[in-house]
Amino acid sequence: MSEEAAHAALAAKLGHAFARPELLRQALTHSSSTQGARLSSNERLEFIGDRVLGLLIAEWLIERFPTEREGDLGKRLSFLISAETLAGIAERLDIAAALRMPESYRQQGFRTWVNILSDALEAVLGALYLDAGLDAARGLVRREWLGLLEGHHKPPLPAKSRLQEWTLGRGLGLPVYTLNSTEGPAHNPVFKVTVAAAGREAEGSGASKRAAEQAAAEAWLLGLQRT
């Protein structure tokens, strides 16, 4: 499938005809394919898409759960905007088929691929917002996130809390998180964190130290499922 056809197929799944198709093109351009011209990649659109998603999910949660306290709403928000959740939605929309990046990047490890997909979905949402406004972005969010929002009658626990419950419940003490590195520009840093628990380690990355810790805990728990 040609790049143009892949973009058209994705736009159809999004239910939106872009007045400025160059926005969708940029949203689907990974920084690895820009030959150093990072301003032409999807990073800026990811930046705004992340904020749009947070606003729209927070708005929806306030509307849908009028009796819940801020702490419980925060747990729901963390789950609904997590990299794992976004990557799952990106896979359902088949965003990977339209992504412009070297083939080697498609062979990256699980955690890196999750981050690539979740970032691309945020960039697509940012492109949709800039092309048609908040209502268009809201329509996509409420359609694609509906099953996830309705599927949890109780606020889901973040990965760090689930890992802590697992270790403490077995008398293994608290997980230990170590910041390994901080990379990237100041406006768009990438934190890398390792978590050690029960004699096993896992690594995660994110746009904040907290997000990286959550990603590391999620990776540790996924490893537990495979053992």
Relative orientation angle of helices 110-132 and 43-64, to the nearest 10 degrees: 80
In CATH, the architecture of 3-151 is: Orthogonal Bundle (1.10)
The pLDDT tens digits for 189-222 are 889 999 999 999 999 988 888 888 988 998 898 8
Q: Catalytic residue among 3, 43, 50, 68, which?
A: 50
Q: Which residue bears the tokens 């293994």?
A: 172
For 179, other C-beta atoms within 10 Å of its C-beta total 12
CA angle 206, 209, 211 (to 5 degrees): 45
The pLDDT tens digits for 118-167 are 999 999 999 999 999 999 999 999 999 999 888 766 777 788 888 998 99
Confidence bin at 38 (pLDDT 50/70/90): low
**pLDDT the model gives residue 154:** 73
**pLDDT the model gives residue 105:** 66
Q: Catalytic residue among 122, 144, 213, 218, which?
A: 122
46 is in an annotated binding site: yes
- 131 catalytic per annotation: no
Whether 191 and 205 have beta carbons less than 8 Å apart is answered as: yes
- As a CATH number, domain 159-224 is 3.30.160.20
> For residues 146 and 157, what is the distance between their CA atoms, to the nearest angstrom?
18
Give the residue extent of every domain in the chain: 3-151, 159-224
Is pLDDT above 90 for 100? no
Whether 181 and 192 have beta carbons less than 8 Å apart is answered as: yes
Is pLDDT above 70 for 30? yes
122 is in an annotated binding site: yes
- 72 catalytic per annotation: no
Residues listed for the chain: 227
Using CA of residue 145, residue 147, residue 153, residue 158, what is the dihedral sign?
A: negative
> For residues 113 and 118, what is the distance between their CA atoms, to the nearest angstrom?
9
